[in-house]
Amino acid sequence: MKKLINDPDAVVREALEGIEAAHADKVRVVYDPMMIVRADAPVQGKVGIVSGGGSGHEPMHGGFVGAGMLDAACPGEVFTSPTPDQMLEATKAVDGGAGVLHIVKNYTGDVLNFEMAADLAKGEGIEVEAVVTNDDVAVQDSLYTAGRRGVGITVIAEKICGAAAEERRPLADVAELCRRVNDQGRSMGMALTACVTPGSGQPSFDLGDDEMEIGIGIHGEPGRYREQLAPAADIVERLATAIVDDLPYASGDRVLAFVNGMGGTPLIELYIVYRELDRFLQGRGITIERRLIGNYITSLEMAGCSITLLRLDDELTRLWDAPADTPALRIC
Amino acid sequence: MSITAADVRAWIGAYARTISEHRVELVKLDTAIGDADHGTNMERGMKAAVEKVDATDGDDIGALLKAVGMALVSKVGGAAGPLYGTLFLQMGMATTGRDSLDLAGWAGALEAGVKGVQARGKAEPEDKTMIDALLPAVEALRAAEGDGAALGDALHRSAAAAEEGMKATIPLEARKGRASYLGPRSVGHQDPGATSAHLLLQTAVETFGGAERR
């Protein structure tokens, strides 16, 4: 597998150095322990918002650090959760006296490391709330398992909570809002190809030219089902049906529709996905009131897409529309 | 007939070498049902653990084990970092101030460590996790203690129980960790965490086996 890198062991660090060189007006980069922090952190009186996870999902999360979104992001190794010492330092760096919200995707590693970090931060007298996102309908939910993965809704939650924090709303409110976004959001993804981590150099799974994986996560793990490749209209119907029927979203609902590329799928195909999703939702009487289309939560060079829906109300719509100025997402 | 601080240092060093030797195997197992990083992450963590242990003077076994735990928590990441980190931190708490461990001391330390892993990860037996190797190992140690077995024999029995538990993960459907996302597709694969846990106990036999002669 060909990759545009210098050294497989230096990928995360060198990418951080690139971010630092490119976006010094918005963020500062710390290398030991690794984190990307809003340039003007801590913002006094504002709830700090910290997220983090394995690298390889760019622009998530580091690309979303900036005014109106995250205060800090902790990058781990590729597809590996960051460690509690990173999260603790990030929490301390963004605490402006109003407490800190951890937005955590539901992966065992992320959850365990953030739990340890929250314990440590509380030990240092910082008020911390954690919200775990778990929007992936491909995984059966159960009290007895690791539960559903946190995927696309995380990006939207970071945007909406960031806006609420800018309004100086208290920690409990921002955390409650995060839970509401997660509760009203659902996602599902599919892959046309596997991805290759720089460390292994091998595809994460073998997929035939005429096959696809339905119900993938964001770490190159295989999906729930392997199927014959189908036209975009059929794939979108498959994903959207599972999403809409799960919440369920009903006729008359207004939604934010997020069509996300997994990293290796061109925008021309994502717009075809959006076309099909728009038609499908119209058929169900659901109105797309806001949308986001592009590569925001990726799995290295994997080809494929995920669809996320968020049921909107006036407050969520207003917070989505509020300004954000980050390296990867600008709303003005 | 006891495990000394020097033995514990040797055990950590031997486990780091064992993990490096099995790195490719662990990555392969993790590629099948996880995200292909278990061997790489454990190798990075154990390398840091050895450095931490080398930098820790004295013969307080608890301090050595806590140093390993802190290194794993801050270097491994993923789920394995907090889980193996907790295992060693709790073992360290249980052995604070001790410069040697008899069978009861070793069994108590491992039991405390495994309880910590369960509290952190909330895994039950047959969830297809490292617990499936660790719990039987503790039970075998306690049974050997009850039988009045010698330390070396007890270590053998605990490693054998861990191996059996590891192999028994193959037909299981994962309920915890990243493999659980595969549902029925996780069946037929050996759990990577149970595999690295078995290696830990196997290394203990190989290192502490000599403790018998003292």
| pLDDT tens digits along A99-155 | 999 999 999 899 999 999 998 898 899 999 999 999 999 987 766 678 899 999 999
What is the model's pTM? 0.87
Within 173-212 of A, beta carbons closer than 8 Å to B belong to 197, 199-200, 202, 204-205
B62 touches chain A (CB under 8 A): no
B176 touches chain A (CB under 8 A): yes
User: What is the number of domains present in chain B?
Assistant: 1
Q: Is residue B201 a part of any domain in this protein?
A: yes
- The interface pTM score, or ipTM, of the predicted complex is 0.76
pLDDT the model gives residue B34? 85
pLDDT digits (tens, 9 = 90+) for A54-93: 999 999 999 999 999 999 999 999 998 999 999 999 999 9
Mean per-residue pLDDT, B100-107 = 97
* Complete edge-to-edge strand list for the sheet that includes strand A254-261: A225-228, A211-214, A185-191, A304-311, A254-261, A287-294
Mean per-residue pLDDT, B26-31 = 92
Spell out which residues of chain A touch residue B90, defining contact as CB-CB under 8 Å: none
Spell out which residues of chain B touch residue A146, defining contact as CB-CB under 8 Å: 175-178, 180-181
- Contact check, Cβ <8 Å, A84/B74: yes
Spell out which residues of chain B touch residue A222, defining contact as CB-CB under 8 Å: 182, 185
H or E segment and range at residue A214: strand A211-214
| Residue B214 pLDDT exceeds 50 | no
Q: Is residue B214 a part of any domain in this protein?
A: no
B192 touches chain A (CB under 8 A): no
B37 touches chain A (CB under 8 A): yes
Domain that holds residue B136: 3-209
pLDDT digits (tens, 9 = 90+) for A146-184: 889 999 999 999 999 999 999 999 999 999 999 999 999
A330-331/A304-311 β-pairing: unpaired
Domain A185-319 has CATH 3.30.1180.20: yes
Do residues A267 and A261 make contact, with C-beta atoms less than 8 angstroms apart?
yes
| Residue B91 pLDDT exceeds 70 | yes
Distance CA B64, CA B47 (A): 14
Q: Is residue B19 a part of any domain in this protein?
A: yes
- CATH number, domain of B62, equals 1.25.40.340
Q: Using the structure block, give the residue that is written with the tokens 């996905």.
A: A273
pLDDT digits (tens, 9 = 90+) for A285-314: 999 999 999 999 999 999 999 999 999 999
Domain ranges (residues) in chain A? 8-184, 185-319
pLDDT the model gives residue B186? 93
Q: Is residue B72 a part of any domain in this protein?
A: yes
Distance CA A216, CA B35 (A): 12
Tell me the percentage of chain A whose pLDDT exceeds 90. Answer: 89
Mean per-residue pLDDT, B162-169 = 98
A 10 A CB-CB count for A210 gives 8
Average pLDDT score over chain B = 94
What is the fold, at CATH topology level, of the domain defined by A8-184? Rossmann fold (3.40.50)
